[in-house]
Structure 1
């Protein structure tokens, strides 16, 4: 039986945006004189809220420095709009199939509310989701606060939902509250790192994800 509530991460899980995020972080930081980091460093923090991400990348930043990089990041990131072409192949069909199986769909993301609102509309995916939570309106992953808010919204227990994501932060926050998780390999973190948090499955492609969700 398909889980009652299926909760998705956004960037790297539904949307092919990892490289654009990494580029935007690099440009925003280096234009202000902060050192250029390895590309994998910028990718590794995708999934965290922007403040937590910048504190991880550049320890010791003052809040005014964080705000300056954040503003630059937003300028670079929003210079490119998310479109249906950025949705990973097979995702739209999967969401429709889940809805047909009477599953409720939600999003738990490190994006800001402003960023997610724009992306929900421009990607064409917004109508699929009954509820969404963002890092700037609750707490950043891997704190499970956003997952708890989602299950409380639906009046269910964590074990009745499933979290799907591409990062260790998704797997970690689900594990903390006993929620099953499914990792996907087409985003940020590789299978070995996702498996450290004992997910129910790690899907290498869309067919494997459908199977993990009992749709195949």
Structure 2
């Protein structure tokens, strides 16, 4: 069967890496460190996928502007203390390897920093599978379309031949803003109903379902 897409762009946290819980805990711990009200889990989960500064401003809106650098430092302290223990979702590595072997171009668009993504890619042993990546400290934060636009430009792929796979409304809105199809995964940070509200091409509830959908439709 002919391919529908040439380029598949993955979000990282909550889509390939099972890290949403750790991000929420790090945000809440950073708030406690700075003696500001910690956000409930739903609010903290909502910011996953955004650039770190934008995420923390949303999660802790009452913090004085001049203290956000402290918040960033404390968040990184807590997240990095445990990130070595984070794992890819079961089946995610196998899916990435399968797609690469089928000659799809694979890329990453993430709210992580460049340093953070490079560290995560090394730990995952998947770095060689991705032909290009974009991070929040290199581009506008999601849902701005810059990450996808730059990836498509670099790899000479049209929007019609590009698929964005992500677990947040930020991913799906970025795809819309770039004129790209979005495939939502509901096993990460954002609940199914909020993803469905953005009318993605499809929504899957597990990596196994994601694998099946891509085999049949990509």
Q: Distance in 1 between matches of 2:12 and 2:181?
A: 18
Q: Secondary structure at the match of 1:162?
A: strand
Paired residue for 1:161?
162
Is 1:55 aligned with 2:74? Answer: no
- Quote the offset at 1:211 in angstroms: 3.1
- Quote the offset at 1:64 in angstroms: 2.7
Paired residue for 1:28?
30
Stretch moving more, 18-27 or 201-210: 201-210
Stretch moving more, 46-55 or 56-65: 56-65
Paired residue for 2:77?
75
Q: Alignment RMSD, CA only? A: 1.6
Q: Residue 18 of structure 1 contacts residue 187 of structure 1 at CA under 8 Å; is this kept in 2? A: yes
2:15 corresponds to which of 13, 16, 19: 13
Paired residue for 2:213?
212
Paired residue for 2:105?
104
Paired residue for 2:144?
143
Q: Distance in 1 between matches of 2:104 and 2:50?
A: 26
- Quote the offset at 1:62 in angstroms: 4.1
Paired residue for 1:199?
200
Q: How many residue pairs were aligned?
A: 215
Structure 1: give runs of 5+ residues left out of the alignment: none
Paired residue for 1:113?
114
Paired residue for 2:41?
39
